[in-house]
């Protein structure tokens, strides 16, 4: 049997390696149009920042490695021009000699990856404009920075690569301006959580502009849609990627609703003996069961392995994705999985949202706070999505949430997890467990929460309510929400009978814990409608920063 693979990065090499494991008698050839194979693309921003000194660290394997270890032939600088399924042949060009030849296959794997989105910007072909998709791009950016002694740069787009590139270029003392056409930074998460990223950017002297598109790049300037001119030495475009499907579509291979190659759970396309994997295929979402396009290195490796196993006698199925991501930004970690609030509402879910601010371990052990936003389905209690912004320990928590959501865990189940505990690593009541507690209470409406945005809507609509600040009086004097009344929790016990029990009552403290006690007190005293401000005053000040100056 003869296997041909198109593409030799994560998915293609994974497919070939697992096929060889299953079938020693198989002839395996991989065609790769680039000169680099099996590289760590996610490490490229760290090379630009100097954290990775040797480019070889991103290139752990070469064609000789695959030939010696797996008896797999990888031909670099060879591009497949066309696939002919009717006779199982390929048209290939040697990019060095320009020779075109025909090869045949019994099984074919398409792992052509993705290409950068190219926004309609005049001047995008300027010498100082770069994309960061592969090692060649990385080398060009690195060399340009050194040769031109770049002092400032504009980065278009604030996804994972855009933010990680910004972070790392700062290490080279390059002044960064981020431009994001969406309303907030890092659109993969909700706007309230993005506020924490925006705050960190400002604290680290990175300028950002949201809600604006780049219209033109000329000379040393970037011109925005509102006419703003940004002087710059260099531009990095990080506007996402599209699946590379040209030769697949030309061969009659079906594309899905996302524009990527449509495959079944075994990575089979609509044409017999042709499989596809990696960044060129669409996946399906574990929660919604709908097609999605989430190009991630981890998924590429996984789908490559599944394709290689099934074409060589195995029987394994892909189980879907949650769109999980994590990144380092300065000393922070930002992670998310599952549905955002916006996505859940778009999908028609009736949801409960909570914000839980907790330290990763006790303060006496150097614990630092993380903000967790969790979303659950009111219909059946399932956790739908989680976003975390924090420092140490975010990776541990997001992976627990990923596992929980994958297996359909209910919010109430989170509290019952037997998580590892030691003061060196966690609190006795871990943030994951506490998130489950708050979610469950909010979902059964016994302890309802209100978000900062919902509170603002109530205040602006003049709906009758009372807003109680349950903190100590000195905290209230330092900063408080406009129209709130200072009634510290101990005093609230004394005066609660004097308050109108039928009136909508909203309580808050710094993070939500004291306010939860105040909420319990009022509910036990017969108050009909009592809300706790989700995330507390600290979260409110992050989400509604433009109003802080008048609320002191």
Query: Which residues are catalytically annotated?
Result: 42
Look-up: residue for tokens 């990776």? Answer: 395
**DSSP string over 61-114:** --HHHHHHHH--EEEETEEEEEEETTTTEEEEEETTT--EEEEE-SEEEE---E
How is residue 436 written in tokens? 């489950």
Look-up: residue for tokens 């010498």? Answer: 127
Is the four-CA dihedral 302, 303, 306, 311 of positive or negative sign?
Answer: negative
Which residues, 6 or more positions from 356, have their beta carbon under 8 angstroms from its beta carbon? 371, 372, 373, 374, 431, 434, 435, 438, 512, 535
Q: List residues bridging with 3 in a β-sheet.
A: 28, 107
Give the separation between CA 518 and CA 141, rounded to whole angstroms: 56
Phi and psi of 396, rounded to 5°? -60, -45
Give the separation between CA 31 and CA 285, rounded to whole angstroms: 30
**DSSP string over 183-198:** SSSSTTS-HHHHHHHH
Give the residue among 480, 458, 477 at the shortest CA–CA distance from 469. 480
Q: For helices 297-311 and 10-22, what crossing angle results, to 10°?
A: 30
Give the separation between CA 251 and CA 458, rounded to whole angstroms: 57
């Amino acid at each position: 049997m003869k296997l041909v693979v198109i593409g030799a990065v994560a998915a293609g090499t994974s497919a070939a390696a697992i096929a060889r494991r299953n079938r020693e008698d198989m002839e395996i050839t991989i065609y790769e149009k680039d000169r680099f194979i099996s590289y760590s693309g996610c490490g490229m921003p760290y090379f630009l920042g100097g954290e990775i000194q040797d480019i070889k660290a991103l290139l752990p394997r070469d064609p000789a490695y695959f030939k010696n270890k797996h008896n797999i032939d990888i031909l670099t600088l060879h591009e497949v021009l066309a696939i002919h399924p009717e006779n199982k042949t390929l048209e290939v060009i040697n990019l060095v000699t320009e020779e075109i030849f025909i090869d045949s296959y019994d099984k074919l794997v398409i792992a052509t990856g993705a290409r950068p989105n190219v926004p309609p910007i005049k001047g995008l072909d300027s010498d100082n404009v770069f994309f960061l998709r592969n090692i060649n791009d990385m080398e060009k950016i690195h060399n340009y920075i050194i040769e031109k002694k770049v002092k400032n740069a504009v980065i278009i787009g604030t996804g994972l690569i855009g933010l990680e590139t910004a972070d790392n270029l700062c290490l080279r003392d390059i002044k960064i301006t981020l431009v994001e056409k969406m309303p907030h930074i890092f659109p993969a998460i909700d706007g309230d959580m993005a506020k924490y990223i925006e705050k960190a950017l400002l604290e680290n002297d990175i300028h950002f502009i949201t809600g604006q598109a780049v219209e033109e790049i000329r000379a040393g300037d970037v011109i925005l849609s509102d006419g703003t001119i940004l002087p710059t030495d260099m531009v990095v475009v990080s506007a996402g990627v599209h699946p590379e499907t040209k030769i697949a579509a030309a061969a009659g291979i079906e594309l899905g609703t996302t524009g990527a190659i449509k495959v079944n759970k075994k990575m089979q396309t609509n044409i017999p003996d042709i499989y596809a994997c990696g960044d060129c295929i669409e996946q399906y979402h574990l929660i919604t069961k709908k097609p999605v396009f989430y190009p991630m290195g981890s998924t590429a490796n996984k789908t490559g392995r599944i394709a290689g196993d099934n074409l060589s006698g195995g029987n394994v199925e892909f189980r879907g994705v949650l769109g999980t991501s994590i990144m380092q930004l300065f000393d922070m970690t930002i992670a998310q999985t599952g549905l955002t609030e916006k996505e859940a509402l778009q999908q028609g879910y009736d949801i409960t949202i909570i914000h839980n601010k907790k330290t990763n371990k006790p303060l006496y052990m150097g614990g630092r706070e993380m903000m967790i936003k969790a979303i659950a389905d009111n219909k059946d209690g399932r956790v739908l999505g989680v976003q975390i912004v924090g420092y140490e320990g975010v990776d541990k928590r997001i992976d627990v949430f990923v596992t929980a959501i994958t297996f359909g865990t209910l919010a109430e189940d989170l509290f019952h997890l037997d998580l590892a505990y030691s003061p060196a690593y966690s609190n006795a009541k871990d943030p994951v467990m506490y998130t489950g507690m708050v979610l469950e209470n909010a979902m059964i409406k016994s302890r309802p929460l209100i978000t900062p945005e919902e509170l603002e809507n109530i205040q602006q609509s003049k709906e009758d309510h009372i807003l109680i600040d349950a903190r100590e009086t000195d905290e209230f004097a330092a900063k408080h929400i406009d129209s709130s009344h200072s009634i510290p929790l101990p005093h609230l016990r004394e005066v609660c009978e004097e308050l109108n029990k039928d009136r909508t009552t909203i309580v808050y403290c710094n993070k939500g814990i004291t306010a939860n006690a105040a909420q319990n007190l009022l509910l036990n005293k017969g108050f009909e409608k009592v809300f706790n401000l989700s995330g507390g005053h600290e979260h409110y000040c992050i989400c509604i920063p433009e109003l802080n100056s008048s609320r002191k």
